[in-house]
Amino acid sequence: MFKAIVIIRKRPKILDPEGKAVEQGAKLLGFNNVRNTRIGKYVEFFVNTENKEDAEKEVYEYCNKLLANPIIEDFEYRLENVE
């Protein structure tokens, strides 16, 4: 079995008003060095197979077809072997 950890980011060219608003909060708290806050998504789940290639394929399809919208988002993932 594998544990999949997926990070979904807005594409660099896509504006992120949520990140901007949060960064205004950072400024108010005095975190003056904070720059370019961007907000994405973190997803984790298990993949019930012993074959890493199969797991990779399934995770990739899951990301591409549902978890991320490829028009506006990029994704990356890693797999951890779990007992």
List residues near another protein by CB under 8 A: 14-15, 17-18, 21, 66-67, 69, 71-72
User: Which CB sits closer to another protein, 15 or 29?
Assistant: 15
Nearest distance in Å: CB 26, another protein: 15
Report DSSP state, residue 63.
Answer: I
Q: Are 67 and 43 in contact (CB under 8 A)?
A: yes
User: Which CB sits closer to another protein, 5 or 67?
Assistant: 67
User: Which CB sits closer to another protein, 52 or 60?
Assistant: 60
34 phi and psi angles, rounded to 5 deg: -70, 130
Nearest distance in Å: CB 2, another protein: 22
Residue 71 and residue 57: Cα distance in Å, rounded? 20
Q: Are 78 and 5 in contact (CB under 8 A)?
A: yes
